[in-house]
Structure 1
Amino acid sequence: MPHPPLPPDELERAVHAALTGVIDPEIRKPITELDMVAGVTAGTDGRVQVGVRLTIVGCPASDRIERDVIAAAESVAGEGNATVELTVMTPEQRAALTERLRGGRAARGNPFGPGTLTRVIAITSGKGGVGKSTLTANLAVALAARGLSVGLVDADVHGFSIPGLLGLIDGHGNAARPTRVDEMILPPVAHGVKVISIGMFVEPSEPGGRSSSVAVAWRGPMLHRTLQQFLTDVYFGDLDVLLVDLPPGTGDVAISLGQLLPNAEVVVVTTPQPAAADVAERSGVVARQTGQHVIGVVENMAAFTGADGALVDLFGSGGGEEVARRLSEGQDVPVPLLATVPLSVALRRGGDDGDPVVVAEPDDPAARAIEAVAARLAVRSRSLRGRPLDVSVR
């Protein structure tokens, strides 16, 4: 025998409480906390209507939000007893939302500068083609899978590839577009990682073309402004870790990163050839010259075990250890070799498919090596030494 419906006031309170579990998929906060719930109205017949304010017209997350709101309301009112009315925030409500999300910080401020509690890790390499972006994407996903809040900035403006590596490319070769709320940019999310890339903003050079194949021919000042905008205008929320995929070499972006993120830590990616040690070492040296701290080396494309059980070292051996040794010279704390990642068909396939190997094939040797790096980075504490504390004596 069905239970009689709750009195309308009790039903409204119960539904509102249930809505605290509905998370905006872009902002990653409860819609009740974002003032997106316009109201909950219940009738004496047990039916309930929920008003929801979307942030913008055409909000790409509207269908998911509507489904989640109905599910939450029906968990209280019963199946078929809930409806949703979607409206859009007024300019004043959007302004209040962006102010709330910034937490009182000035607009266009860099939340990852000195004093931040977010750990900023830049991934760099001396030259291209060493798998730096593939490692960065997989490392971000592995850290997120450990329960950390992770953001990823694709600062490789000329050779952006992060959207494709994380599956943020549609069937036409175009990257997912961020959502704009006034001057605030909400980054797409893939595998629990908030991602921003220049590939999400470029337009195809011809109708029906692929944005992923567009060439970006920018020089220093524009590169600096782009990286600055990624750090100031994109709403990442409270992050545990921000990874930055740097372009190869020691050019303008590496120098800009040192100016914008002087507290960043740096991981150098190299290949096994001893000859690669020279160019990889340079990227670590430049990071130090801009005041950053090199925390480790990752050797990619290392030897793998063939079908006959023999070890195959297509690219030689020892490059990672040599880079770590060179970067340790004259330092109080040695620079460790964090991992040796073997050549892997699964790693390559995951990058092509936009399905990172640490998720798609976690038992693959390359996935296990990347997980080992994530494990080391995830447990390192974030020191407050040298950072100002916002306290006052009364």
Structure 2
Amino acid sequence: LADDRERELRGLAAAGEIATHEQVQAARIHRDEGWRLVRQEYIERVEDPDRLSATFASGLSLPAAYEGAVREADRLADILHADAGRAANYETTRQRIADMQKTRRALFARRDALNAELAELDIRWGAIAQSLGQLDLTPAAAIEWCQKHSNWVERYTLLGAQRQARQEVADLLVTTRTGLSEALTACGLPGLADGELLTAALARAKAAVDAARQAATARAALVGQITQQELDLADTISQQARSTEKMNLWQRQWDETVTALRLPTRSLPAEAHARIDEFDALASALDTLDELSREAELERGKRSSFEEALSALAGEVDESVSDKDADHLVSMLYDELAIAREADRLRKQTDVDIERETTRIQQAQLAASSQHERLAELVRRAGV
């Protein structure tokens, strides 16, 4: 790949001169340096011209060397701008070649380091093989032998575990047979015989267990029924006790009621109803009597008030009420009232007549006054 890039670079260079940015930058720096020297020599005059010329370009005067530097910088800049694409490709290719060369040098260094490490490992492996007495043993063969050894160790370990598991199973079978035989004996069945299989013994045990379960189920059902009957009996007794208590309470209340009704203790409800009806009728009669008494009292109060008012009225008209009853006194008062009304009417009529005559007199006086004033006016006019 690096060779391809170098051939590409040579092809670009063969097509004509190529100017890179680095070359243009270097030419410009050289030009600027020449200008600095020219300024120091011809403007500032701080340096020796010969020494400055030798420093910038040997064999040429400083102005000629500066002009050459300017032309070279301009020429490279023109070339760069005239064929910028080819210059860019050239620069890119050159940079890639430099990167590849750098990478190749790094790879070469890595290869040398790996070769050195490999040589060291070979030395160490030779020492290991010599210590094992197998000088022709290769690492691959050693790895294969280690893998086989690991498999053998793993199989041996697995075999030991299986042997231990088999022994545990055998011990468990012995324990199981012993426990099963004891269980059968406890259930009243023959124990486990020497040649009897566990399946047959388990079948016998299962049958015994099923029978025991059925018996237990039946017993539990009977116990449940007995418990329910006991609960029902207790509930019935409780209800009976509550009923008895309610009955005793009702009897006490009934005895108190019939006693209050003035009846014998063993009286029937019909007798109590009859007595209650009698009490209701009596209460109604008493209520009516109370109402009549209140009305009579009210009438007496009204009569007393009327008599008092009548006495006061008789006193106003100077009538004696000591030997007269109320009716006679009322008749007399009505007569006196009629006489008083007639007298009042006559008084009012007289007042009206007097007022009318007074009005006529006032009118006559006014007329006389008017005539008098008129007469006085006539006399005044007559000059008398």
Same fold? TM cut 0.5 = no
- Greater share of residues in helix: 2
Higher relative contact order, structure no. (Cα contacts within 8 Å, ≥ 6 residues apart): 1
Query: Which is greater in Rg?
Result: 2
Q: TM-score range by the shorter chain?
A: under 0.3
TM-score normalised to the size of structure 1? 0.13
TM-score normalised to the size of structure 2? 0.14
